[in-house]
Structures are given as C-alpha cells and as structure tokens.
Amino acid sequence: MSESFTTLSPRARRPDLLLAAGLFLLTAIVFWPAARWLASETFAREQLKQSFYVVVFAGLWIAWEKRRNLRIDLHFSNRTLGWLFASYALAAGALVFKTPLLFLGGMVAALGGMINYVFGGQAFRRTLPLLVVFGLLILCVLLFPVLDWPLRQMAGVEAARFLKFLGLASHLAVAPRPEVKLLLLTGNQTFLVATECNGFGLITSAFLLGMIRLLYRRVALRWFLVLLPLCAGVAFVFNFLRISVIVLLAPYFPAHYTLLHETAGLVALYSGLGLVWLLTGWHRLTAPSPSLERARAVPKAA
C-alpha cells in the first residue's frame, strides 16, 4: 500500500518540499514583473488602495471565520498542478498574442495553485470567492484610466443637480488650458472636480465587498444581478453627496478645507460600505443547500 504524502517522515518529505519550493520560486520570478506593476499602480492611487484594503480585510475576515478548518496541507494534488499549468499557459499566451491581460490572469491562477498546495482543496473552495475578487481588483486597476473622466463628469453633474435642488445655483464648466480640468461653479466659488472626486475607490470597494459577501454566502444568481448594481449605485450616490457636502460646508470652514475634504471622504466611504454590508447580509438571500432541498423533498411519515 502506498503511503500518503502527509504521513511521510520529514526526511522523506524533504525532496518534495524542495521541489515545491523550487517550482513556486520559479513561478514567483515569472510573475514578478506583473506583480510589481500591479502593486505600483494600486498604491499610486488612493482610490485603488481603498479597494485593495477591502480585499485584504475580506481575506482576513474569511480566514477568521474558517480558522478551525484551515490546515497546512503542503500536498501536490492534480488541482494544484492544473492551476499552475494554467498559469504558465496564460503567461505563454500573453507573450505569443501580446496580451498583458492574459499574464495578469496567469498570476491569479498561480495564486490559486499556491493556495491549493498550502491549504488543500477544501480550503481552496472556501477561499475561491477571494480569488475571484482579486481578479476583479486587477480588472479595476486596468479600468481606472478609462473610467476616471466619465465618472468625474457623472459625479459633477449629479452634485450640481442636487445643489440646485437645495437652492444653490451651480453648474459644470471645463477649463481646457493649460490642462483639461472639470470645474463645479457655485456662486462666487469654484471647485475642482479632480481625479480624487470620481468615486472610483468607493464604487469599486462597494462592488468588491458586495461580490465577496454574495459569493461567500453562495446566494442565488438572481441576487447577484440585483444587488451588485445596487452596491455600485449606492457608492455613486454617496460620492456625489460627499461632493455636495463639501461645497455646502466649505464657506463655513475656509481655513480647514483639507480637513473637511478628508472627513467627508471618510464618512462617505464607511457609510457606503456599511450600507453595502447590510444590503448583502439578508439571511433570506442564501440559496438552500442541495441536502436541505433533498430533505424537504422527502415525504414525512404519517
């Protein structure tokens, strides 16, 4: 009878551990340029850092929730090798087809293989939602330059509309020189709708948090289609309300504008994420388990 990997003595396991260390070291070298680029792009922008922190804290939350089920496995399963093979295949495809997105996808697959090796397949199934969200975070990094200006325009338009509703005349203007700027004009005051005002960090953080919560709770597909757009919509509303509050309160705190700006941003961020947490936390959203469905289908004895 063959002996399983986990029952081998430390000396017998040493060649396998060295092989694993070498393979993952090679994988780290292959994907290091992509990881370094991703880190530099993420930490260069406050909005993307917010989304990154949401993913990190969600990972810690999942680890804490499943701490009793997490065990160090250190076993090369077929699933582990499959994920690593997929990572190298995607990296090769990125070079052949000159598509960097495939390289980033390979990095996600490599991370999946590492989780499989360290914690085993059971833990991987529990952390799969986090892996999906990590892939979405990479997509957010790529979309940031594309969505920056449209989101700023939308936030500025809605903020101006809300301020008009409150009786404060306001409108948007574009200053083309020396560089294109979006301005919000209210009476004698002019506010710059900068990149920090686009709400990208709040929107992506809310979307990623909602995705983690829904995936983790294994809700029915229809709730993804309803609640994920709602999470993004909630974040968008909180963002233009933040801009409106800054415009309304700025005349009363002329010497503390920076403090006002940061305070309003933090209140909008945590209020929006708190509402997203509540929206995705309804118990009735959870899809019934197959075993529960089978139990319901069994007729009761007379």
Tens-digit pLDDT profile for residues 229-286: 999 999 999 999 999 999 999 999 888 889 999 999 999 999 999 999 999 986 566 5
Residue 165: how many other CB atoms lie within 10 Å: 9
Are the CB atoms for 268 and 242 separated by under 8 Å?
A: yes
Q: Is the pLDDT of residue 90 over 60?
A: yes
Q: Provide Rg for the chain, Cα atoms.
A: 24
Per-residue tokens: 150: 């449209």
Q: 13 vs 114, which has greater pLDDT? A: 114
CA distances from 64 to 111, 172, 215, 254 (A): 20, 47, 17, 45
Sketch the domain layout of the chain as residue ranges.
14-142, 145-286
pLDDT tens-place string over residues 122-138: 777 777 888 888 899 99
Largest Cα separation within the chain, whole Å, is: 85
Q: Is the peptide bond before 178 cis (omega within 30 degrees of 0)?
A: yes
Per-residue tokens: 178: 């020396």
For residues 209-225, average pLDDT: 90
* pTM higher than 0.85: no
